[in-house]
């Protein structure tokens, strides 16, 4: 027999002897006095009973001693070969912070491992007999969540084989996957909405802080804030719904519904939460550090649900949060709303746990750290780079150490290295003297050698890991695309009689100007090499042009185009191309509002001109989305007003208003607003855009020429486009548009890789290779399926999406799409069969895609292709409404100008399959690297009047050794119970003894 707290045995033993004796002595001081005459009989009786009374007294003493000794024994928590007595059935909910910062080493051990040991000890502690339950929650997602270990799941099913027979387990891992994805999407949307809110609030505050705040602008900002808040609310609700759904799904999951021997099925909500001790132990041992930041809000809501669902079964409930107490996980002091929300959540938990005793929620601090140097960010000047152009890097490093290190760390020097495509590591210039607590951003010009071969490259930058307790945040990767040039097709809608009159006159002056904007910015004498290669054409010559040869197509004041050209252009954008539309005085509004709008190339319809040429007054312009690359730098380096940080005031001589759609499926992204409002109070955007498939459309509502010819283009204060800003603007815009893929290619860890897939990428064989895997070896990749082929609103109609959630490793991933015609055929058929309710227009579009693809794969030109197509359509499409579609397809088959046709020869070289390779980089969100811990005062203030305690892990570990009772909150209950037992025994003794006398 072992005792968890032997001291209790000693104390209890002493008490066991002392207390009864004291009781006896105490009793002897309390007696009544009476005179007595019949003493003789009393003496006789006494003589007769003396022996027996003495015996009885001894027995009483012995019993009292035994009761106390038993209590002492219980308190000492003895254990005999695993069988343990339990004071109470407890539901212990453990929240384990597995964000990567808990991987920091203290005293040579990872805090995370230490925390695991502590929890394991708790689970093995004698307090937890059968009937007690433990739920384990991790604050961050890990790989283990996603059922990747199918073997394990199968094994579980086998183990429980017989027992599960009578339980109808309806568990579909695919559904779970879907639910998980939805949750992630919602989280991402939530995050975006929060960003919008933050920006709007910031702008609002700024405006209000001015001397003369503009009420209109304030109202508009307020409106934006309201919108964002409403959005946040919606997303939050949806998120909660999805989580509830996930919980339901998982309740049916075999390894989350363990059964005890008593046949009682206990189900806990989250996948990582389980009440079965063995399962918890396994989950605990398997728990990994996650690189995804901790999500406390969601974890706490899961905790609350878990506590609620176990409402009746347990006598006591307790929540233990094992964390490194990073300040980032708690609301900041000044932000009262966050504080309220946080407190509400904790109160919910306390209520669900049904108690207010102190220590109900226990934070266990596993923090404590020494040195951490972090590579916060690395950005190339552009993600699309011209061949032979040196690449400049902007590197941000932070020294999050809380003390001076030793060795190299002592010099506070960040030694940087880089590698290209996982090749040899090379040195970068070091960053000197970054003291603990400091963050430094450094621009490293000519840091990387120029690339001479076009292609996609993954570049990884590392900080030396010596003397770093948390090495995981010391590397970052990014993807750059090296090109010969950015090809721009500029369609001049108003060529004029001589070049000066051309709509493109100033554009053509500006675009070949530079290849390196930074040089332009800093050194006026810089003679640039051009990387933007613009080719001008007119609408008359547009038919027959292969848009796929260009990165960007500019429609400058184009009156109208043939519908076929428009649909070609739309497909080109969906496949990743970009279109810029500028609206001059020649445009045909009907064309733009009907043909262009329906094809998706116009996010909104064109309204009335809001600034007729006669009106020359200046208007203010402000960037609505200053983070959009095309204007971000403009806001910072506006040469008109370097201090204003805004594009104001400038003059715009003519602009088109837009008709604000009431319900708009297409996302309108306002980039720059004009400060001119319509009746509804909405400002009209000067610059806006929207995504269409993989590509992007940007509309500029003012002409490119305007009245430029009347002014010196480089004269200040004329028009913001008439300066070097104009040159810069176009370069930023063209780089941004040529680089539409880079949005998809740079992810935070845990963020899903989701890329709209163009029709010609349709395939059933898509593989993603995590960092380190060999893209040539298909077994090392993860096969991903296309998501939602018929599309959702967000995914823009029928275009499918390549979706991959499991981005939990840092570094560069490779995507390979193996495209076969048979796969396509089956896919199309599946889609049509699975989606009986698909709109006929969607089918029509789908069939159009198939047509293109078939042309792409055709082995023979001519009638054979038509036969193949007819065969496929006969297989796939039935119903009268398809007849016109078929006819339309038939006519299109003979369009010799089909640009896709040109590609077939290239693909034949690849054994019939077309292989598309893409790459993306996953980086750490270093928000958790700043190991700033919550101030203890603030912690106490935050948890004021809540039954929350904070203890260090050292204290906890000490308590494991010799704890008095399992939880302090239970001590009074426990003592009361002991007293009750004692009293009951006393009363029993008293009645037994006196009854015998009567």
Q: Are 270 and 250 in contact (CB under 8 A)?
A: yes
Q: Using CB under 8 A, pick the residue from 1, 27, 540, 837 that binds other proteins.
A: 27
Cβ 35 to other proteins, closest distance in Å? 5
Q: Which is nearer to other proteins, 453 or 997 (CB)?
A: 997
Interaction of residue 498 with other proteins, rule CB under 8 A: no
Cβ 50 to other proteins, closest distance in Å? 9
Interaction of residue 80 with other proteins, rule CB under 8 A: no
Q: Which is nearer to other proteins, 51 or 497 (CB)?
A: 51
The total number of residues written for the chain in this structure: 998
Interaction of residue 453 with other proteins, rule CB under 8 A: no
Residue partners of 947: CB distance under 8 A and separation at least 6: 350, 355, 356, 357, 358, 359, 360, 361, 969
Helix axes 883-893, 863-876, angle to 10 degrees: 160
Closest C-alpha among 3, 164, 155, 157 to residue 73:
3
Q: Which is nearer to other proteins, 21 or 230 (CB)?
A: 21
Q: Using CB under 8 A, pick the residue from 1, 34, 212, 614 that binds other proteins.
A: 34
Main-chain dihedrals φ then ψ at residue 201, nearest 5 degrees: -65, -40
Q: Which is nearer to other proteins, 24 or 887 (CB)?
A: 24
Cβ 67 to other proteins, closest distance in Å? 20
Residue partners of 406: CB distance under 8 A and separation at least 6: 467
Closest C-alpha among 371, 374, 373 to residue 403:
371
Stretch near other proteins under the rule CB under 8 A, chosen from 47-55, 465-473, 719-727, 759-767: 47-55
Q: Which is nearer to other proteins, 497 or 998 (CB)?
A: 998
Interaction of residue 25 with other proteins, rule CB under 8 A: no
Cis preceding linkage at 649, omega within 30: yes
Interaction of residue 22 with other proteins, rule CB under 8 A: no
Main-chain dihedrals φ then ψ at residue 83, nearest 5 degrees: -80, 125
Cβ 118 to other proteins, closest distance in Å? 54
Cβ 30 to other proteins, closest distance in Å? 7
Which structure tokens are listed for 511? 């675009």
The span from the CA of 839 to the CA of 63, in Å, is: 86
Residue 228 belongs to what H/E stretch?
helix 215-251
Q: Using CB under 8 A, pick the residue from 18, 21, 22, 46 that binds other proteins.
A: 46
Residues in 50-79 at the binding interface with other proteins, rule: CB under 8 A: 52-53, 56
Q: What angle do CA 967, 968, 974 make, to 5 degrees?
A: 80
Q: Which is nearer to other proteins, 178 or 989 (CB)?
A: 989
Binding mask 368-407 for other proteins (x = CB under 8 A): ----------------------------------------
Interaction of residue 38 with other proteins, rule CB under 8 A: yes
Cβ 986 to other proteins, closest distance in Å? 14
Closest C-alpha among 791, 886, 888, 879 to residue 831:
791
Q: What is the DSSP string of 81-108?
A: TTB---SS-EEEEEEE--BGGGG-EETT
Stretch near other proteins under the rule CB under 8 A, chosen from 40-48, 63-71, 79-87, 442-450: 40-48
Q: Which is nearer to other proteins, 53 or 500 (CB)?
A: 53
How far, in Å, are 298, 424, 695, 794, 820 from residue 427 at the CA level? 42, 10, 36, 43, 44
The span from the CA of 416 to the CA of 177, in Å, is: 39
Which structure tokens are listed for 941? 């203030």
Residue 997 belongs to what H/E stretch?
helix 971-997
Closest C-alpha among 819, 543, 548, 815 to residue 695:
548
Residues in 765-794 at the binding interface with other proteins, rule: CB under 8 A: none
Interaction of residue 49 with other proteins, rule CB under 8 A: yes
Burial of residue 306 (number of CB atoms within 10 Å: 0-12, 13-18, 19+): buried
Cβ 22 to other proteins, closest distance in Å? 16
Q: Using CB under 8 A, pick the residue from 25, 28, 80, 937 that binds other proteins.
A: 28
Interaction of residue 988 with other proteins, rule CB under 8 A: no
Interaction of residue 31 with other proteins, rule CB under 8 A: yes
The span from the CA of 511 to the CA of 397, in Å, is: 34
Half-sphere exposure of 895 (CA within 13 A, CB side): 17
Q: Which is nearer to other proteins, 38 or 663 (CB)?
A: 38
Closest C-alpha among 457, 460, 410 to residue 436:
410
Q: Which is nearer to other proteins, 25 or 80 (CB)?
A: 25
Interaction of residue 168 with other proteins, rule CB under 8 A: no
Q: Using CB under 8 A, pick the residue from 14, 18, 22, 48 that binds other proteins.
A: 48
Interaction of residue 986 with other proteins, rule CB under 8 A: no
Q: Are 48 and 101 in contact (CB under 8 A)?
A: no
Cβ 981 to other proteins, closest distance in Å? 24
Q: What angle do CA 400, 401, 406 make, to 5 degrees?
A: 140
Half-sphere exposure of 961 (CA within 13 A, CB side): 6
Cβ 54 to other proteins, closest distance in Å? 10
Q: What is the DSSP string of 279-336?
A: HHHHHHHH---BSSPP-HHHHHHHHHHHHHHTTTT-SEEEEEEEE--BGGGS--TT-H
Interaction of residue 43 with other proteins, rule CB under 8 A: yes
Interaction of residue 30 with other proteins, rule CB under 8 A: yes
SS3 432: coil
Residue 379 belongs to what H/E stretch?
strand 373-380
Stretch near other proteins under the rule CB under 8 A, chosen from 38-46, 86-94, 222-230, 709-717: 38-46
Q: What is the DSSP string of 850-909?
A: HHHHHHHH-SS-THHHHHHHHHHHHHH--SGGGHHHHHHHHHHHT-TT-GGGGGHHHHHT
Cβ 997 to other proteins, closest distance in Å? 5
Cβ 53 to other proteins, closest distance in Å? 4
Number of residues that bind other proteins (CB under 8 A): 28
Interaction of residue 215 with other proteins, rule CB under 8 A: no
Q: Using CB under 8 A, pick the residue from 36, 498, 525, 833 that binds other proteins.
A: 36
Cβ 84 to other proteins, closest distance in Å? 41
Cβ 998 to other proteins, closest distance in Å? 8
- Burial readout 16-34 (b: 16 or more C-beta within 10 A, e: otherwise): beeebeeeeeeeeeeeeee
Burial of residue 459 (number of CB atoms within 10 Å: 0-12, 13-18, 19+): buried
Stretch near other proteins under the rule CB under 8 A, chosen from 165-173, 782-790, 955-963, 990-998: 990-998
Q: Which is nearer to other proteins, 285 or 996 (CB)?
A: 996
Stretch near other proteins under the rule CB under 8 A, chosen from 35-43, 279-287, 571-579, 812-820: 35-43
Q: Which is nearer to other proteins, 43 or 987 (CB)?
A: 43
Q: Which is nearer to other proteins, 47 or 285 (CB)?
A: 47
Q: Which is nearer to other proteins, 1 or 33 (CB)?
A: 33
Separation of first and last alpha carbons in the chain: 45
Interaction of residue 26 with other proteins, rule CB under 8 A: no
The span from the CA of 711 to the CA of 611, in Å, is: 19
Cβ 38 to other proteins, closest distance in Å? 5
Q: Which is nearer to other proteins, 860 or 994 (CB)?
A: 994
Q: Which is nearer to other proteins, 43 or 975 (CB)?
A: 43
Q: Which is nearer to other proteins, 36 or 642 (CB)?
A: 36
> What is the binding site for other proteins (CB under 8 A)?
27-28, 30-46, 48-49, 52-53, 56, 993-994, 997-998
């Amino acid at each position: 027999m072992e005792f968890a707290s032997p001291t209790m045995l000693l104390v209890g033993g002493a008490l066991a002897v002392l207390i009864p004796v004291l009781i006896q002595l105490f009793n002897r001081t309390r007696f009544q006095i009476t005179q007595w005459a019949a003493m003789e009989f009393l003496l006789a009786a006494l003589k007769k009973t003396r022996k027996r009374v003495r015996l009885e007294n001894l027995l009483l003493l012995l019993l009292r001693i035994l009761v106390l000794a038993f209590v002492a024994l219980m308190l000492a928590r003895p254990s005999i070969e695993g069988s343990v007595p339990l004071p109470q059935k407890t539901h212990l909910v453990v929240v384990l912070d597995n964000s990567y910062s808990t991987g920091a080493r203290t005293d040579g051990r990872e805090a995370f491992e230490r925390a695991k040991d502590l929890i394991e000890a708790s689970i093995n502690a004698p307090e937890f007999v059968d009937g007690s339950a433990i739920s384990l929650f991790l604050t961050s997602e890990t790989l283990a969540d996603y059922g990747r270990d199918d073997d394990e799941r199968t094994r579980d099913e086998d183990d429980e084989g017989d027992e599960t027979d009578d339980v109808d387990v309806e568990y579909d891992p695919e559904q779970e996957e879907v639910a998980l994805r939805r949750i992630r999407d919602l989280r991402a949307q939530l995050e975006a909405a929060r960003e919008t809110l933050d920006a709007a609030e910031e702008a609002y505050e700024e405006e209000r802080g001015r001397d003369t705040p503009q009420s209109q602008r304030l109202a508009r900002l307020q409106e934006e804030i309201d919108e964002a808040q409403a959005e946040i609310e919606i997303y939050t609700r949806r998120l909660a719904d999805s989580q509830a759904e996930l919980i339901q799904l998982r309740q049916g999951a075999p390894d989350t519904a363990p059964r005890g021997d008593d046949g009682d099925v206990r189900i806990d909500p989250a996948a990582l939460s389980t009440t079965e001790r063995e399962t918890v132990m396994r989950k605990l041992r398997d728990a990994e550090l996650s690189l995804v930041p901790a999500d406390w809000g969601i974890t706490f809501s899961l905790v609350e649900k878990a506590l609620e669902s176990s409402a009746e079964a347990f006598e006591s409930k307790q929540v233990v949060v094992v964390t490194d107490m990073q300040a980032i996980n708690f609301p900041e002091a000044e932000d009262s709303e966050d504080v309220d929300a946080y407190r509400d959540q904790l109160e919910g938990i306390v209520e669900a746990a049904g108690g207010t005793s102190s220590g109900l929620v226990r934070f266990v601090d596993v923090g404590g750290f020494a040195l951490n140097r972090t590579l916060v960010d690395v950005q190339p000047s552009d993600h699309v780079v011209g061949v032979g152009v040196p690449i400049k890097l902007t590197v941000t490093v932070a020294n999050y150490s809380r003390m001076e290190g030793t060795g190299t760390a002592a010099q506070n020097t960040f030694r940087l290295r880089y590698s290209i495509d996982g090749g040899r590591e090379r040195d970068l210039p070091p960053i000197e003297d970054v003291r603990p607590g400091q963050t430094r951003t450094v621009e490293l010009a000519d840091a990387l050698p120029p690339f001479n071969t076009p292609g996609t490259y993954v570049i990884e930058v590392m900080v030396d890991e010596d003397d770093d307790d948390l090495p995981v945040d010391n590397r970052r990767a990014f993807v750059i695309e090296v090109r010969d040039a950015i090809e721009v097709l500029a369609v001049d809608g108003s060529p004029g009689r001589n070049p000066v009159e051309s709509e493109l006159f100033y554009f053509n002056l500006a675009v070949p100007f530079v290849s390196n904007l930074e040089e332009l910015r800093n050194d006026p004498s810089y003679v640039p090499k051009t990387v933007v290669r613009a080719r001008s054409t007119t609408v008359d010559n547009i038919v027959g042009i292969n848009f796929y040869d260009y990165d960007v197509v500019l429609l400058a004041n184009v009156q109208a185009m043939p519908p076929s050209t428009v649909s070609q252009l739309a497909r080109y954008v969906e496949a990743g191309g970009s279109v810029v539309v500028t609206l001059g005085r020649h445009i045909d509004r009907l064309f733009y509002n009907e043909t262009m709008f329906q094809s998706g190339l116009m996010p909104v319809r064109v309204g009335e001109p809001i600034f007729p040429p006669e009106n020359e007054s200046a208007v203010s312009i402000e960037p609505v989305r200053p983070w959009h690359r095309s204007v971000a730098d403009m806001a910072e380096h506006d040469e008109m007003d370097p201090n204003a940080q805004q594009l104001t005031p400038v003059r715009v001589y003519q602009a088109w208003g837009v008709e604000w759609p009431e319900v708009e499926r297409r996302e309108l992204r306002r980039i720059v607003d004009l400060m001119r409002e319509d009746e509804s109070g909405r400002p009209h955007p000067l610059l806006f855009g929207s995504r269409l498939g993989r590509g992007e459309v940007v509309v500029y509502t003012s002409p490119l020429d305007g009245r430029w010819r009347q002014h010196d283009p480089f004269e200040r204060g004329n028009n913001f486009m008439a300066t070097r800003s104009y040159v810069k603007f176009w370069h930023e815009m063209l780089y941004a548009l040529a680089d539409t893929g880079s949005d998809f290619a740079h992810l935070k860890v845990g963020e899903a890789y989701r890329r709209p897939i163009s029709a010609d990428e349709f395939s059933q064989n898509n593989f993603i290779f995590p960092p380190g895997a060999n893209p040539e070896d298909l077994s090392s990749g993860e096969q991903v399926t296309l998501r939602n082929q018929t599309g959702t609103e967000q995914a823009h109609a029928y275009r499918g999406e390549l979706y991959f959630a499991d981005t939990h490793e840092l570094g560069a991933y490779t995507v390979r799409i193996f495209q076969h015609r048979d796969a396509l055929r089956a896919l199309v058929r599946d889609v049509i069969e699975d989606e009986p309710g698909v709109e006929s227009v969607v089918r029509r579009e789908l069939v159009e895609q198939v047509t293109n693809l078939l042309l792409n794969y055709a082995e023979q030109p001519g009638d054979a292709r038509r036969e193949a197509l007819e065969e496929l359509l006969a297989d796939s499409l039935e119903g009268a409404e398809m007849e016109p579609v078929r006819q339309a397809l038939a006519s299109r088959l003979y369009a010799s100008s089909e640009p896709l046709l040109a590609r077939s020869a290239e693909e034949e070289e690849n054994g019939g399959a077309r292989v598309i390779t893409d790459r993306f980089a996953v980086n750490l969100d270093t928000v958790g690297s700043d190991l700033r811990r919550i101030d203890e005062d603030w912690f106490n203030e935050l948890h004021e009047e809540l039954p929350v305690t904070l203890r260090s892990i050292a204290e906890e570990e000490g308590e494991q050794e010799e704890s008095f009772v399992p939880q302090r909150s239970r001590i009074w209950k426990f003592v009361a119970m002991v007293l009750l037992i004692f009293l009951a025994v006393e009363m029993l003794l008293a009645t037994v003894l006196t009854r015998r006398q009567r």
